[in-house]
Amino acid sequence: MNAIEAVNAHLVLASRFENIEVAERALHDLCATAGCDGEQLYWVVTALREAMANAVGHGNRLQPERKVHVDLSVDSSAVTIRIDDEGEGFDPSLIPDPTVPENLLRPSGRGIFYMQQFMNRVQFSRTPGGGTSVLMVKHLQPTTRSAENEKPSPRSR
Amino acid sequence: MKSQVRDRGDVRIVELSGKITIGSGDVKIRELIDEALAAGKKNIVLDLAGVSTIDSSGIGEMVACYTTVTKKGGHLKLLRLSPKINDILQVTQLITVFEVFDDEAEAVRSYG
C-alpha cells in the first residue's frame, strides 16, 4: 500500500446493536479509500464490532439516549479506533481469562479477549463523564496475505 | 443469519450462513437448538460452512447450546469450519471443547 494521508470519520450513534453495522460500514469505507488489505480488515472489523457491542450493551446498557462516540482513522501504516460510551465505566482487569479450562464453557466474557487478540494495542481509560473509552490500534502489513497463509496466531494478523 | 434444518436419521443437521452476531444470529442459534431438543433430537450438527462472521456473542451462544445439549444427554458437534471460524475457535481454545468434522457423513457416523 502506498503512503497516503490519514482518512478519518467521527460517528455519534444511539445505543442500538443495529448501529454496529453502521460503524462497520464506515470502517469499510475508510479502509477502501486507504487501500487497506481485506484480510487484515476482517480482523479489525471483528475487534470494532466487539468494542461497539460492549459500549452499547455493557456501557450504555442499551439506553438509546446514551450515545456511542466512534473515531476512526486509517492511513497506510495503521488503523486507529477509539470508542467512548456514556456508561459508568468498568475495570477491565476484572474480566477473567476466557481461555483457562474453568472458564471455557462460560457463555460470555470473550469480547475484550477478541479485541486484544486481533489488535496490536488495546487501551482502556475513563472518559471525562465517567464512561469507558477504548483505544485500539492495528499496524497494517505492507503486503497482502491470503487467509490460507494465515496462522492461528492472532497478533500476526 | 440464515438457517436450514434437516434430519439424517436421529441426527439434526442445522446449516447456518451469514453473520452470527449479537442481537440477531446469536438468538437464532438458541431457538434452533431449542426446537431440535423439543423435537427429541439430541444429536445436533451445526454446519458452519456458510458463516462469514461470528462474534463473541455468537461463540458464547454456541457454548451455551453445547452445555444445554450435553445436559440433555446429547452431543452438539461442528461441521465445515471456514479458516477464519477455525482461527477463532483456536484462539479461544474452544477447539478443545467442540468435536469438529469436515465431512457430514463422517459427522453423522460419529454418533454411532
Taking CB atoms and an 8 Å cutoff, what residues of chain A touch B94?
104
CB contact under 8 A, A53 and B61: no
- Asked whether residue A131 carries a pLDDT value surpassing 70, the answer given is yes
C-alpha cell at A76: 497506510
Nearest-by-CA chain A residue for B62? A107
Q: Is the Cβ–Cβ distance between A135 and A48 less than 8 Å?
A: no
Instruction: Tell me if A2 is assigned to some domain.
Output: no
> Which residues of chain A does B91 touch, with a Cβ-Cβ cutoff of 8 Å?
99, 117, 152, 154
pLDDT, tens only, A30-64: 998 888 777 889 999 999 999 999 999 999 999 98
pLDDT at position A146, please? 39
* Structural domain boundaries enclosing B81: 2-109
Is A71 inside any structural domain?
Answer: yes
Q: What is the grid cell recorded at A57?
A: 450493551
Q: A126 lies in a domain?
A: yes
Instruction: Output the domain CATH number for residue B76.
Output: 3.30.750.24
Q: What average pLDDT does this structure show over B71-77? A: 97
Q: What is the ipTM of this complex?
A: 0.89
Count of the separate structural domains present in chain A = 1
- Whether A1 is covered by a domain: the verdict is no
Interchain pair B60, A110: CB under 8 A: yes
* Chain segment A72-105, per-residue pLDDT in tens: 999 989 999 999 999 999 898 899 999 999 999 9
pTM for the full model?
0.89
Supply the Cα-derived Rg of chain B in whole angstroms. Answer: 13
DSSP string of A94-124, one letter each residue:
GS--TTSGGGTT-SS--HHHHHHHHSSEEEE
Q: Do A107 and B60 touch (CB under 8 A)?
A: yes
C-beta separation of B32 from B62 below 8 A: no
Output the domain CATH number for residue A71.
3.30.565.10
**Taking CB atoms and an 8 Å limit, are A111 and B56 in contact across chains?**
yes
Total structural domains within chain B: 1
CA distance B97 to chain A (A): 8
- Predicted confidence (pLDDT) per residue in A4-26, tens digit: 688 999 999 999 999 999 999 99
- From A108's Cα to the closest Cα of chain B, the distance in A is 5
Alpha carbon distance A153, A60 (integer Å): 32
Å from B1 to nearest chain A CA? 14
Q: Which residues span the domain enclosing A138?
A: 7-156
